[in-house]
Amino acid sequence: MGEYVSADIIRKNEGPVLTRKDVPYNAALVFNAGVTKYNGKYVMAFRNDYGDAEKHVLEGTNIGLAYSDDGIKWEVAPKPCFAMKTDEIERAYDPRLTVIDGKCYMCFAIDTKHGLCGGIASTEDFEHFDFLSMSVPDNRNMVLLPEKLNGNFVRLERPMPVYSRRHRDRFDIWLSESPDLTYWGKSRLVMGVEDVPFADDKIGPAAPPVKTEKGWLTTFHAVRRFPGRGKNGWQDSWDKEYYAGVALLDIEDPSKVIGIGKKPLIVSDRDFETEDGFRLDVVFPGGMILEESGEVKIYYGASDTVECLAVADVNDLIAFCLE
């Protein structure tokens, strides 16, 4: 719909790397995954909205787990690894994985009856999770940096100010620090939506950043609205497009931006991204892996329906941020 195309430094994997057909339990939409390397394997925690995909009926959400030896072919574990449901909490979704000092952490969004929150849990085996903290609402899209800075854990996050932003989605990327992953503070703005030329609505952190010689390389999602677009995917009306963008943050102080790619990095352009799915034209990255070869694997949910992979060279991505 929009005029943007994916950057020419990006190469998309031919088809999705994971769809509901790969999942051995009830799965309707399989997308917005976090991916990391842990104990010699690629590990993916993916969002699974279950129900009946043929009838377009959704019944709930859990988080599934998949393993891979090459980051391309995935095998899904026999059952979901994580879910939250209480009288107050409706669901946990959109997991992001970061390994810090050999331990794996999962950030995720939590829908509660009193607002949207960000949660953080740790795990060593993806069977048992220790729940560490939950933010106040509304805040989500939390991702942890893989290293502590000045002794503190660091997260990027996306609060959703409404009253002060005149009830429009003008949402930005912030950073907070914590000594223990429970108490968070020293919060500061990283990037405003107005800093991204291809966003006219909101932005948010995507995959956890990776460290490069030039800075923390980080993806983000950027949203544009097309008012009046009407029917799109399963929904009667859905007027947003989501793109992946990329930025470079200062190594010593990641709240300082060194450069932001002026154009989108990944845009929907295949049939399963633009014609077939729950919400079309949505690119939502949640995992990024920097290989020793310099290849960067970027995992993204497409059309809120399947999980995809695109690759690029790390130096090309850095240059793209600095253009």
Span near ligand BMA by CB under 6 A; candidates 49-57, 175-183, 225-233, 276-284: 276-284
Site string for ligand BMA, 241-260 (x = CB under 6 A): -x------------------
Structure letter (DSSP) for residue 279: S
User: For residue 318, what are its two tokens?
Assistant: 């850095």
Question: Is there binding between residue 176 and ligand BMA (CB under 6 A)?
Answer: no
From 4-12, 17-25, 182-190, 279-287, give the range in contact with ligand BMA by CB under 6 A.
279-287
DSSP 82: B
Paired tokens of 78: 């026999």
Q: What is the rounded CA–CA span in Å between residue 7 and residue 14? A: 16
Maximum distance among all Cα pairs of the chain, rounded to whole angstroms: 52
Kindly indicate which of the ranges 19-27, 68-76, 254-262, 278-286 contains the residues binding ligand BMA, using the contact rule CB under 6 A.
278-286
Q: Rule CB under 6 A: which of 9-38 touch ligand BMA?
A: 32
Sheet holding 173-178, edge to edge: 139-144, 153-159, 173-178, 185-191
Q: Is there binding between residue 279 and ligand BMA (CB under 6 A)?
A: yes
Provide DSSP, 200-268. SSEEEE-SPPEEETTEEEEEEEEEEE-TT---BTTBS---EEEEEEEEEE-SS-TTSEEEE-SS-SB--
Q: 38 or 238, CB closer to ligand BMA?
A: 238
Question: Is the CB of 119 or the CB of 254 nearer to ligand BMA?
Answer: 119
Beta bridge partners of 123: 104, 129
Q: How far is the CB of 185 from ligand BMA (least distance, A)?
A: 26
**Residue number of the CB atom closest to ligand BMA:** 284
- 61 part of the interface to ligand BMA, by CB under 6 A: no
Q: Which is nearer to ligand BMA, 215 or 233 (CB)?
A: 233
Quote the least distance from Cβ 122 to ligand BMA, whole Å. 22
Q: Can you give the three-state secondary structure of 36-53, one letter per residue? A: EEECCEEEEEEEEEEEEC
Q: Tell whether residue 158 is a contact of ligand BMA (CB under 6 A).
A: no
- Residue closer to ligand BMA by CB (options 148, 225) is 225
